[in-house]
Structure formats: structure tokens, C-alpha cells
Amino acid sequence: MVLVLNGVLQAKCPQDTQSLYNSHPVYRDSAGQLLSIQTKVIGPVGLLYVKQREFASTVPHDKHVTILGSDNATSCFIVVVRHTGSGAVALAHLDGTGTDEAVCTMIQRVQDLALGYPEGRLEVQLVGGYSDPNNYSEDLFINLMTSFHKQPMEIDLTLACIGQLNTTIRGGISWPLIYGVGINIKTGEIFPATFPDKGPESSLRNARYLTGCAEVLDIYDCNMGLLRIGPFNYKPLRGVDLWLEQNDECILR
């Protein structure tokens, strides 16, 4: 039992976003602060972009990376784990596949990078998801809370800009307010962001995800400054020519 909410160790994790906000209004305030920040357009210099079903970890003195970021999150969550003493940080884009393993590995990477820094605590920040009609975001929130709650160390939830607080209504339809965030690894500042350049090797990384690879991939070795994708296995999509002939309405059905 390790999850810390608003500075209080929890006997059990919240069952949904509504109960989180009702019991701990401070998360409404911190979400409001994030939503008040103007969205930044981040270029490729110093950026390590994280795609869906990927995560990356690094440290403030990384000479190649200044910002970790991800966007295009609708019902997905962007998850940041950071050690306050060392500044070691990991960022993931999670869609509900491989959640337990991803949470465990992210924490382990941050702890490994924080060795030699006895002071400090682990913090987690959640951004994304919205009040979607199928409750995908709520299900992912519950899975994430359960995964963090099972870890053997205390983890302090400091930001939860998710679900109802990340939702606006346009034309009677729910839409996310924030689709992406970046974190400055030098300062720990987190901000809404969009990333026109989603590389490197965007096509290869998309192929890994779109062909059904269920693993949340650790893409970066900060000691070597090396981004690594794969190897991964895939099977050709049967009937792809037929699918390519269909319009969006048919595919969405």
C-alpha cells in the first residue's frame, strides 16, 4: 500500500475520477493551473517525443534532451514519474495495454537513475483522458491507480488533469481540453504542448504500434544518448487493400 494522495498515505486507491476530486479538491486546483497555461508548440531541437505505447526516461544533465513530450492523447493518459531529489524523470503514453509492466518499469528506471540521491520522493502526474462515452478513460484511470498502488514504494500523486476536468462540450459532444504535454527535464515544469515533429523514425514507430505490438517500449538509453526501436514482430494486415478503399464512416463503424 503506497499511493499518496494530497500527502496522505491511502489504504485503498480511488475507484473513479469523481471520487478522487470529491475527496481531494486540491487536484481540481492543480488541474486548473495546468489548463490555464497556454499550449506551447515544441520544435525538434532538444525534444524526445514519446509515442503511444512508449516511454522514455532521462536525467537533468542529459546533453541531448531538454524536453520529454507526447501528444495525440484522447482517451489515453500521459504519465510522468519523477524523483524530486535527482530530477530523474520518465514519461509514458499509455492506452491500457501493458499498464502494470509499464508502471513497474518506469518506476524502476527512475529509481536507477536516482541512485546517489538519498533525498527526495517519487511523484506521479497524470494528464489526458476525458469523459468519453465508452468510459475508456475511467477504466484506464482505475488500472493506473491499481498499478501504482501495488508498488512497494510510496508514490505521491501531484497532478491529475484527467476525465471530467479535461473535458469540454462542443456541439453536444465531449472533447479533451489537453491532448499533449511536455516536461522540462531541467526544471520539472510540465505544460500543455503540441509537437509538429514526432520523430525520429516516426513511420517505424507507428508500424510497431499499429501492427498490434502490446508491449510498452522503453525507447531511450540516456547514458548513451541512444533511441532504440525494436526489434519487433508483425503480421501483414489481411485485406488491407479492401480497408484502404473504405471511407472514414465505414472504418469507424
Q: What percent of the chain has pLDDT over 70?
A: 98
pLDDT for residue 120: 95
User: Hunting for cell 475520477 — which residue is that?
Assistant: 17
Pick 62 or 246 by higher pLDDT. Answer: 62
Considering just the CA atoms, what is the radius of gyration of the chain in Å? Answer: 18
Instruction: Say whether pLDDT at 253 is over 80.
Output: no
Q: What is the CATH number of the domain that holds 187?
A: 3.30.1330.200
Instruction: Say whether pLDDT at 56 is over 80.
Output: yes
Enter the pTM of the model: 0.91
pLDDT digits (tens, 9 = 90+) for 151-164: 999 999 999 999 99
pLDDT for residue 2: 59
pLDDT digits (tens, 9 = 90+) for 134-182: 999 999 999 999 999 999 999 999 999 999 999 999 999 999 999 999 9
Task: Enter the DSSP assignment of 44.
Answer: S
Q: Any residues with CB less than 8 A from the CB of 106 and at least 6 apart, and which?
A: 55, 57, 79, 81, 90, 92
Q: State the total domains in the chain.
A: 1
pLDDT digits (tens, 9 = 90+) for 193-206: 999 999 888 888 88
Domain limits at 229? 3-252
pLDDT digits (tens, 9 = 90+) for 63-112: 999 999 999 999 999 999 999 999 999 999 999 999 999 999 999 999 99
1 band by pLDDT with thresholds 50, 70 and 90: very low
Burial 215-229 (b: 16+ CB within 10 A, else e): ebbbbbebeeeebee
